[in-house]
C-alpha cells in the first residue's frame, strides 16, 4: 500500500531511478561483451530501510548472524560486508565478523570455485574476489565458504560467498547482496536448486513475502491466472533469465510489435530478461512508443502532469477517489497472457497526487521486466539443467468468482485511490500467505493477509471503477 511514509519520497524515487538507469546500461554492456531441500527466506521492501531495493533475511556463519541482503536475479555472486573493514558503507545491522564463526573457510587460489570468478587474485594462497557494478559501486575481499541459514533453521554448508572488506556504493540499508542469477556461482546453482520462486511485496507495504527454493508450480492451485512462460538461455549471458515474451496489449488492443523485437539474436543481443534489481521495465524504444501511445489514447480523460525523470507520461490525480486506466497485458509463447495490476504500471511519484506510467524506453535491443511490474506476482523458475531450457511461471494470486468475468474486464484496469490520491495495493495472494477472492461487483482487492473485517471496511470506503 502506497502510504508515502517518508518525507523525502520523491527524492528517494528520483535517486532510485537514476541508479536504475545506470544499472540498465550496465546490464546491456555485460550482454554485449558477452541434495534438495525446500528452503525459504523472507522478502521485504527496502523502503523502511531507506532503500528502493528488495531484501531477504538470512543467517551467515555458525552461530548464524542475521543479515539483510539485496536479492538480485541479475547477479551471481553473493557477498556480505566483513570485519575488519578497510572501507565499508553504513549498514543498520552489525557487520559480519568471520573470526566469530566456526564454519568459516577460505578458498585456495587454484580451486575451481575461485577460477569461476570473473575477476580474482591470489593473496597469501587465498582467493580474493572483486566485483564492480555499473553505477560505480564495488566490493572486494576474501572469497570464502560459509554456512547459510534460512527460515525454520534449515542450513546449507560450504556456500561460496564474498567476504567484503572494501565496499562502497548504492547499498543503502543492506549488509550485502544475494545473487540469484543463472551462473555457476549463484545461490540457486550452488545448492543445485531445481526451482525457485519469489514474490515482491508492494514497495510501501510492511508485509513479508518469501523466497523459496526447490518448490514448483505444482504447489499452486489450478487457476487460470497461473501463467507459464518459456525460460530461455543465452550462452553469452548465463546470469540472466530470459522469458519467451511474444507481445503486449493495452486496453484489449494487441500492439503491432515487430516480430523480432523480443528475440535473442545470434550474437546474444536482444531478448527479454526478468530482473529484481531493475525497478522500471525497459522496452526497446519503438516498442515503448507503441505501448505509451496506446495508453495515452485510453487516458485522454485524465489531467496530465509534467514529465518526471525517465517517465514521459504522467497525470495529476490529486483529489480523485478512483480512475480508470487501460489494462496492460504481457503475452507469452503458448498463448498465455498476464494482466498486470494497475498499480504495477501507474505509480505515485510524489505526495502531491502525481502518477506516471512506469515503463521507459531503451536504445538497446534487450528489454528488461523490472521489479515494479513484478510486485504482488508470485514468480518462479523451474530449471532442468545449467544449459537447458526450463520454464518460468507467474501467478497474480487473485481469483474472480466464477461466471463474473466478462470480455470487457480485459479492456480496463481498476486503479483505486485514497482520498489523498494514493494507491491501494491489490491482493498479493501467495505473497502474503493467502488467496483473495475478489467480487466483480465490489471491484475491491486487498492484501491477502487481511481478515474479513478489514475487507468489509475497505468495501465500505472505496469506490471501484467499472470498465466501459
Give the CA angle between residues 448, 452, 456 to the nearest 5°. Answer: 105
pLDDT digits (tens, 9 = 90+) for 22-51: 556 555 544 444 344 566 676 767 665 555
- 410 or 330, which is more confident: 330
**CA atoms of 214 and 221, how far apart (whole Å):** 17
Q: Which residues are catalytic?
A: 72, 275
My answer on whether 325 and 383 are in the same domain is yes
Which residue's entry shows cell 541482503?
Answer: 69
My answer on whether 393 and 248 are in the same domain is yes
441 pLDDT higher than 60: no
Q: What is the pLDDT of residue 146?
A: 96
pLDDT digits (tens, 9 = 90+) for 50-91: 556 788 999 999 999 999 999 999 899 999 999 999 999 999
Average model confidence (pLDDT) across the chain? 75
My answer on whether 231 and 315 are in the same domain is yes
**CA atoms of 283 and 373, how far apart (whole Å):** 12
Mean pLDDT (whole number) for 431-441: 30
416 pLDDT higher than 60: no
My answer on whether 235 and 104 are in the same domain is no
My answer on whether 183 and 69 are in the same domain is yes
Out of 347, 367, 398, pick the residue that ends a domain.
398
20 pLDDT higher than 80: no
Mean pLDDT (whole number) for 237-255: 91
- Global pTM? 0.76
Specify the number of domains making up the chain: 2
200 pLDDT higher than 70: yes
Q: Residue 418 falls within a domain, yes or no? A: no
Q: How do beta strands 176-179 and 79-81 pair? A: antiparallel
Mean pLDDT (whole number) for 362-377: 90
My answer on whether 161 and 237 are in the same domain is no
pLDDT digits (tens, 9 = 90+) for 289-347: 999 999 999 999 999 999 998 899 999 998 888 888 999 999 988 788 888 888 899 98
Q: What string of H, E and C letters represents the secondary structure of the chain?
A: CCCCCCCCHHHHHHHHHHHHHHHHHHHHHHHHCCCCCCEEEEEEECHHHCCCCEEEEEEECCCCEEEEEEEECCCCCCEEEECCCCECCCCCCCCECHHHCCCCEECECCCHHHHCCCCEEEECCEEEEEEECCCCCEEEEEEEEEEEECHHHCEEEEEEEEEEEEEECCCCCCCEEEECCCCCCCHHHHCCCCEEEECCCCCCCCCCEEEEECCCHHHCCCCCCEEEEEEECCCCCCCCCEECEEEEEECCEECCCCHHHHCECCCCCECEEECCCCCCEEEEHHHHHHHHHHHHHHCCCCCEECCECCECCEEECCCCCEEEEECEEEEECCCEEEECCHHHCEEECCCCCEEEECEEEECCCCEEECHHHHCCCEEEEECCCCCCCEEEEEECCEEECCCCCCHHHHCEEEEEECCCCCECCCCCHHHCCCCEEECCCCCCCCCCCCCHHHHHHHHHHCCCCCCC
Q: What is the pLDDT of residue 285?
A: 94
Q: Report whether the peptide linkage leading into residue 330 is cis, meaning its omega lies within 30 degrees of zero.
A: no
- 25 or 120, which is more confident: 120
CATH at residue 229: 2.40.70.10
Out of 345, 363, 398, pick the residue that ends a domain.
398
Q: What is the pLDDT of residue 382?
A: 72
Q: What is the pLDDT of residue 22?
A: 58
Q: Residue 275 burial (CB < 10 Å; 0-12/13-18/19+)?
A: buried
My answer on whether 45 and 153 are in the same domain is yes
pLDDT > 90: percent of the chain:
38
Q: What is the pLDDT of residue 149?
A: 94
Q: What is the pLDDT of residue 202?
A: 79
My answer on whether 186 and 242 are in the same domain is no
Q: Residue 435 falls within a domain, yes or no? A: no
Confidence of residue 411 (pLDDT cuts 50, 70, 90): very low
Q: What is the residue range of 347's domain? A: 217-398
Q: Please tell me the least confidently modeled range out of 83-97, 159-173, 226-240.
A: 226-240
Q: What is the pLDDT of residue 390?
A: 61
- 449 or 397, which is more confident: 397
118 pLDDT higher than 80: yes
Any residues with CB less than 8 A from the CB of 75 and at least 6 apart, and which? 177, 179, 180, 181, 186, 239, 277
- 160 or 452, which is more confident: 160
Q: Residue 457 falls within a domain, yes or no? A: no
Q: Residue 254 falls within a domain, yes or no? A: yes
Q: Please tell me the least confidently modeled range out of 255-259, 371-375, 401-405, 431-435.
A: 401-405
Q: Residue 26 falls within a domain, yes or no? A: no
Q: Residue 412 falls within a domain, yes or no? A: no
Q: Which of 215, 227, 193 is nearest to 338 (CA)?
A: 227
460 pLDDT higher than 80: no
pLDDT digits (tens, 9 = 90+) for 261-281: 999 988 889 999 998 888 899
My answer on whether 224 and 116 are in the same domain is no
Q: Residue 58 falls within a domain, yes or no? A: yes
Distances (CA, A) of 105 to 99, 126, 159, 263, 451: 10, 10, 10, 43, 47
Q: Which of 32, 24, 26 is nearest to 270 (CA)?
A: 32
Q: What is the pLDDT of residue 16?
A: 62
My answer on whether 378 and 339 are in the same domain is yes
Q: How do beta strands 314-316 and 378-382 pair? A: unpaired
Q: What is the pLDDT of residue 53?
A: 79
Q: Residue 10 falls within a domain, yes or no? A: no
129 pLDDT higher than 80: yes
Distances (CA, A) of 31 to 24, 231, 265: 11, 17, 12
Confidence of residue 394 (pLDDT cuts 50, 70, 90): low
Q: What is the pLDDT of residue 220?
A: 52
My answer on whether 256 and 381 are in the same domain is yes
Q: How many CB atoms lie within 10 A of CB 11?
A: 11
**CA atoms of 165 and 347, how far apart (whole Å):** 38
Q: What is the pLDDT of residue 457?
A: 30
**CA atoms of 324 and 461, how far apart (whole Å):** 18
Out of 344, 368, 398, pick the residue that ends a domain.
398
Confidence of residue 440 (pLDDT cuts 50, 70, 90): very low
Q: What is the pLDDT of residue 193?
A: 83
My answer on whether 239 and 187 are in the same domain is no
Q: Residue 92 burial (CB < 10 Å; 0-12/13-18/19+)?
A: exposed
**CA atoms of 180 and 110, how far apart (whole Å):** 25
Q: How many CB atoms lie within 10 A of CB 12?
A: 17
Q: What is the pLDDT of residue 350?
A: 85
Amino acid at each position: 500500500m502506497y502510504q508515502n511514509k517518508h518525507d523525502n519520497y520523491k527524492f528517494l524515487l528520483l535517486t532510485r531511478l537514476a541508479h536504475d538507469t545506470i544499472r540498465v546500461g550496465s546490464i546491456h554492456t555485460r550482454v554485449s561483451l558477452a541434495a534438495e531441500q525446500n528452503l525459504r527466506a523472507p522478502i521485504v521492501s527496502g523502503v523502511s530501510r531507506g532503500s528502493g531495493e528488495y531484501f531477504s533475511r538470512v543467517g551467515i556463519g555458525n552461530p548464524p548472524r542475521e543479515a539483510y541482503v539485496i536479492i538480485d536475479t541479475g547477479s551471481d555472486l553473493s557477498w556480505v560486508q566483513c570485519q575488519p573493514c578497510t572501507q565499508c558503507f553504513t549498514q543498520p545491522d552489525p557487520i559480519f565478523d568471520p573470526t566469530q564463526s566456526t564454519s568459516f573457510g577460505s578458498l585456495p587460489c587454484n580451486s575451481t570455485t575461485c577460477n569461476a570468478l570473473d575477476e580474482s587474485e591470489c593473496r597469501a594462497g587465498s582467493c580474493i574476489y572483486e566485483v564492480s557494478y555499473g553505477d560505480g559501486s564495488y566490493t572486494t575481499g576474501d572469497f570464502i565458504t560459509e554456512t547459510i541459514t534460512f527460515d525454520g533453521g534449515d542450513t546449507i554448508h560450504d556456500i561460496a560467498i564474498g567476504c567484503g572488506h572494501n565496499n562502497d556504493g548504492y547499498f543503502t540499508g543492506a549488509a550485502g547482496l544475494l545473487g540469484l542469477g543463472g551462473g555457476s556461482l549463484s545461490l540457486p546453482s550452488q545448492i543445485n536448486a531445481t526451482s525457485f520462486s519469489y514474490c515482491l511485496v508492494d514497495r510501501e507495504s510492511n508485509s513479508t513475502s518469501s523466497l523459496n527454493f526447490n518448490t514448483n508450480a505444482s504447489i499452486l492451485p489450478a487457476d487460470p491466472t497461473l501463467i507459464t512462460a518459456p525460460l530461455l538461455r543465452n550462452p553469452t549471458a548465463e546470469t540472466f533469465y530470459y522469458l519467451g515474451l511474444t507481445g503486449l496489449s493495452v486496453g484489449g488492443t494487441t500492439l503491432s510489435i515487430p516480430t523480432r523485437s523480443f528475440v535473442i539474436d545470434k550474437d546474444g543481443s536482444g531478448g527479454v530478461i526478468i530482473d529484481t534489481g531493475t525497478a522500471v521495465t525497459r522496452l526497446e524504444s519503438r516498442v515503448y512508443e507503441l505501448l505509451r501511445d496506446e495508453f495515452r489514447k485510453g487516458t485522454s480523460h485524465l489531467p496530465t502532469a509534467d514529465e518526471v525523470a525517465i517517465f514521459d507520461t504522467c497525470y495529476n490525480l490529486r483529489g480523485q477517489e478512483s480512475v480508470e486506466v487501460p489494462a496492460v497485458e504481457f503475452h507469452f509463447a503458448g498463448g498465455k497472457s498476464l494482466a498486470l495490476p494497475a498499480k504495477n504500471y501507474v505509480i505515485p511519484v510524489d505526495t502531491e497526487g502525481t502518477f506516471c506510467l512506469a515503463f521507459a524506453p531503451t536504445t538497446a535491443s534487450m528489454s528488461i521486466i523490472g521489479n515494479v511490474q513484478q510486485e504482488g506476482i508470485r514468480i518462479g523458475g523451474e530449471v532442468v539443467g545449467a544449459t537447458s531450457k526450463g520454464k518460468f511461471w507467474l501467478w497474480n494470486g487473485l481469483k474472480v468468482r466464477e461466471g463474473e468475468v466478462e470480455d470487457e474486464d480485459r479492456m480496463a484496469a481498476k486503479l483505486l485511490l485514497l482520498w489523498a490520491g494514493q494507491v491501494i495495493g491489490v491482493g498479493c495472494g501467495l505473497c502474503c500467505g493467502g488467496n483473495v477472492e475478489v467480487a466483480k461487483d465490489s471491484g475491491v482487492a486487498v492484501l491477502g493477509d487481511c481478515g474479513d473485517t478489514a475487507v468489509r471496511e475497505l468495501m465500505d470506503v472505496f469506490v471501484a471503477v467499472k470498465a466501459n
